[in-house]
Each structure stands twice: as C-alpha cells, then as structure tokens.
C-alpha cells in the first residue's frame, strides 16, 4: 500500500527559511542546511529500503493560486491566503507494509524542537474502490 505523508508550513516559515524577518525569527544558513540534510537523509534511507516512491517540497504560498467556481465561472486568488495559516509545504509518498510502518516513517519528519508541529499520513487510493469514505 502507498501512503502520502503531508508536511505543512506557512508563509512565515518560508520567510524564516529565507532569512527574512517576520512572524518567526529568521533561520540561519546553517539551520536551513541542517533541515535539508535531515530530509535528504530520511529520503535516502527510504530509497535504500525500497519504501520511497516520491518526495518533494513545494514553493512558498506566495506562489500559489487557488481556483474556485462562483456561479459557474472560475475565480483565481493569488496566495498567500490570509484566512489560512498553514498550507501543504511538501509531501513524501512511501510504499510499505502497513499503516503503522507509514506512521513510524512520518514521525521522522516532525521536528522534535517545534512544539505543535505535525504531519498527516493518508493511504493513497489506487481506484474508486479505495474511496470508502
């Protein structure tokens, strides 16, 4: 079974990584490098174990667009979206033996120094039969 591990962040997180002041203290180049090294290390281990399907980071929310339909016509809103603090920041897809194993892997993506940080883990549907609502 495949599982998607979804990582979340905010525009403030991206600004901090870029060293810009804002709602969070700017991260140093060393802190950003350490974060990237950790992610690379986890992905490398998952690739070596055969469990990694894909993993990517997403660009900052300022580069996002939300598309909605209003009265049948598309309405496009450029990000970031003030009504939402968190957005999907990246994802990793793993293929492993169980939901428990996927949960163990997901725990490695949570920063132990960031109180309240979380990731979501969800099975990937291969077809309509997997959408059991």
- Burial, 64: exposed, middle or buried (Cβ in 10 Å; 0-12, 13-18, 19+)? middle
**CA-based nearest residue to 13, from 105, 96, 131, 114:** 114
**CA-based nearest residue to 11, from 57, 58, 60, 56:** 60
The pLDDT value recorded for residue 83 is: 61
Distance (Å, whole) CA 105 – CA 55: 13
Which residues are CB-contacts of 112 (< 8 A; sequence separation ≥ 6)? none
In the chain, domain spans: 2-126
- CATH class of residue range 2-126: alpha beta
Q: pTM of the prediction?
A: 0.87
pLDDT tens per residue, range 39-77: 999 999 999 999 999 999 999 888 888 899 999 999 998
Mean pLDDT of 20-33: 87
The DSSP bridge pattern shows strands 87-95 and 2-9 to be: antiparallel
Q: Which of 14-28, 69-83, 90-104 has the highest mean pLDDT?
A: 90-104
Asked which of 9-13, 68-72, 84-88 is least confident by mean pLDDT, the reply is 84-88
Q: Which whole-number Å values give the CA distances from 79 to 35, 83, 86, 121, in the listed order?
A: 25, 10, 12, 25
């Amino acid at each position: 079974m495949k599982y998607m591990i979804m990582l979340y962040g905010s525009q403030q997180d991206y600004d901090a990584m870029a060293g810009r002041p804002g709602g969070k203290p700017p991260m140093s180049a060393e802190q950003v490098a350490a974060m990237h090294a950790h992610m690379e290390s986890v992905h490398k281990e998952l690739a070596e174990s055969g469990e990694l399907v894909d993993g990517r980071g997403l660009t900052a929310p300022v580069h996002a667009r939300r598309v909605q339909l209003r009265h049948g016509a598309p309405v496009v809103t450029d990000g970031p979206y003030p009504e939402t603090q968190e957005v999907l920041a990246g994802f990793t897809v793993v293929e492993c033996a169980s939901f428990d194993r996927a949960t163990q892997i997901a725990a490695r993506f949570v920063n132990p120094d960031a109180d309240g940080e979380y990731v979501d883990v969800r099975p990937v549907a291969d077809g309509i039969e997997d959408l059991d609502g």
